[in-house]
A and B are shown apart, each in its own frame.
Chain A
Amino acid sequence: MNAPLLEVRELRKTFSLKGNRLFGRDAGVVRALDDVSFHIDKGETLALVGESGCGKSTLARMAGLLTKPDAGSVLFEGREISSMSARDLKPLRRRIQIVYQDPFASLNPRMSVGAIIAEPLVIHDLGDTDAQHRRVFEVAEMVGLSAADMELYPHQFSGGQRQRIAIARALAPEPSLIIADEPVSALDVSIQSQILNLMAELQRRYDLTYLFISHDLTVVRHLADRVAVMYLGRIVETGPGEELFKNPRHPYTRALLAAAPVIGRGKRHMGDTLQGDVPSVLDEIQGCPFNPRCWITRAPCFTDSPELEPVVSDPGHLSACHLKDEGRL
């Protein structure tokens, strides 16, 4: 049994808000990640889904080796990397690349496109200048850009094209894992599908692994093999995409699915909607963090915080809900 490409175990990360330090007070503690565990196998796409404040961005940064966890471990190809020194981490960084959400902010406006794509090769000292040039042209072609485009600057391209540049940059050092943080949210609808198709194609051809973060369930449904739903710093449900969408075993997942607009259903009925606001990350909630908004609570929901455990009918489908095995939610 091969080790998963990326595995995280019991990750915790808290940020303390600056209070008046002179008098020794913290204004509050943000539990960005609270005991998060998941794994991604080689060649698959795991989607992280959740609303603001759920911690998916922090998790993405951690997987991208940009932040260290306060507790828990990150394993890449079976090796513990969360406590590695910066020097030891460096060769690993080329294997994990990130594509960001905003195609207008993630490219240095003062660098030519060719230089942007070549930068990871330069940083990791991959090949001589000629080899690097060849590689740049190679990945440019992979993403549908021409050799002539390499001389131009980011502002001369549209949003969709810029995202292609970002993808080319991520592909250049031949990574194993690409973390895509809302890569199509900022794009026009007709361009989104082009980029999604491109990403799917690249995955097939080069056996890439994706950690895909999105708030858009339709995009997730299209691209993901497995899905992890996050709420207030925890994973509340995870499992194969199709299974999760057809048979959600956590009320929050069910609420997300009910809220996601669906074409062809006609006008919405008011009634399925989850009430209340996404809670503040500062609040401390006793028991299950979802209980203030949950409509099927029982006594244990207010005292015991549920663990992420397999559902009875499917060991690959996990849910952190005391009622996960009970009939229809």
Chain B
Amino acid sequence: MPHEAILQVRDLTVSFATDLGVVRAADGVSFDLSPGKTLALVGESGCGKSMTALSLLDLLPSPGRIESGEILIGDKNILNMDEAEIDEVRGQRIAMIFQEPMSALNPVFCVGDQIAEVLRVHFATSKTDAWDAAVKMMQRVGIANAPVRAKNYPHQLSGGMRQRVMIAMALICKPDILIADEPTTALDVTVQAQILDLMMEMQAELGTAILFISHDLGVVSEIADDVMVMYAGRIVERSPAATLFGAPLHPYTLGLLQTLPRMDRRVAILPALPGSVPDLRALPKGCRFSDRCRLAEDVCQQTDPELKRAGAGRSVACLKVAP
């Protein structure tokens, strides 16, 4: 793994206690984030990607808890920090933006105050200085007429503008890491393009490492350097973006790419993935994907594959591909 990794996640396991026993939303997840690079975490609903992201900032909703693992920033483990230490990390070293910008912003405070607040809390900046910095940041993220807009409330802004405000709020302390949880899913497609451009621009300027979470493979292919595919709580494949989309290794990744309607080709029938995402409370024995996999054999239902190296910067968890 590269030395300059700014965040190292090792064997992270997030679990929920349910009536039917303990459910592992994320099971043994490991990855690194490097400065200036974008790592995408891709998967369908319920695969555990959001839970993984929230646990990086220890923001799991109860009854979720981090069962085991390490989250190392520099050489400190976030999971060993006390509340005050983590509060210092949040917003300042690791920042997060969410999917629904309307509900993610506090409706009773103006957006300028919400952005300035981050500075004031972390750097004890004065009110006026923080406000000025907030307005500057709003200009930087492309909000026209920023001094006036800063006094607006969230409901007075469009969806695209609100997401820009979220980005401004997240990046104003120049964090090392930005976690973006489905940041463009709720936006119109032309606005989505603008926001993706903005994120790439800011990354180039600040050298931020981005963890980009999405279910949209198209968006991921345009913004990610590396991609991790998640299924039922496990990482099943990790690859640089070019090779993942060009030559996927894991049958699930392959199935997903084939089943998507594409802009670059048109087929009469989309080869569908049979079955559906498993209920985490009743996982198939052995490989979690075995009940839907074309390549499945007996051994797949007995052994749970581990993530193994499979080429330059690639790893895959499949007994057939990487035994």
Give the residues in chain B near A275, CB-CB below 8 Å: 194
A255 at the interface (CB under 8 A from B): yes
- Which of A197, A222, A255, A261 is the one whose CB lies under 8 Å from B272? A197
Taking residues whose C-beta sits less than 8 angstroms from the other chain, chain B's interface range is: 35 or more
A265 to B217 Cα, complex, angstroms: 12
Give the chain B neighbours of A196 by CB distance below 8 A: 261, 270
**Are A51 and B190 interface neighbours, CB within 8 A?**
yes
Whether A264 is near chain B, meaning CB under 8 Å from some CB there, is yes
> In the docked arrangement, what's the CA distance between A125 and B161, Å?
51
- Identify the closest chain A residue to B244 (Cβ): A263
Q: Is the pair A190, B188 in contact by a Cβ cutoff of 8 Å? A: no
Interface flag for B103 (CB, 8 Å): no
**Does chain A have a CB within 8 A of B256?**
yes
Q: Identify which of A160, A258, A278 contacts B191 (C-beta below 8 A).
A: A278
B contacts with A: majority SS: helix
Chain A positions near chain B (C-beta within 8 angstroms): 51-52, 158, 160, 188-194, 196-197, 200, 215, 217-219, 221-223, 242, 245, 255-256, 258-268, 270, 272-275, 277-278, 280
A260 adjacent to B189 (CB under 8 Å): yes
The answer to whether B129 has its CB under 8 Å from any CB of chain A is no
Does B260 count as interface, using CB distance less than 8 angstroms?
yes
Question: Do A218 and B260 touch (CB < 8 A)?
Answer: yes
Q: A190-B277, A261-B218, A267-B223 are in contact. Are A273 and B197 (CB under 8 A)?
A: yes
Contact assessment for B190 and A273 in the assembled complex, using a CB-CB cutoff below 8 Å: yes
- Whether A158 pairs with B276 at a CB distance below 8 angstroms is yes
Known contacts A200-B268, A268-B200: A258-B276 contact under CB 8 Å: no
Whether A270 contacts B201 by the Cβ 8 Å rule is: yes
Q: Which of A160, A194, A261, A273 contacts B194 (CB 8 A)?
A: A273
Query: CB-defined interface of B252-293 with A at 8 Å, one 1/0 digit per residue?
Result: 000111011111101111111100110000000000000000
- A259 and B190 contacting across the interface, CB-CB below 8 Å: yes
Closest residue to B193 on the A side, CB-wise? A259
Determine if A259 and B189 form an interchain contact, defined as CB atoms under 8 angstroms apart: yes
Chain A neighbourhood of B272, CB < 8 A: 190, 193-194, 197
Task: Tell me whether A197 and B222 are in contact (CB under 8 A).
Answer: no
Q: Quick one: which of B139-168 are within 8 Å of A by CB?
A: 158-161
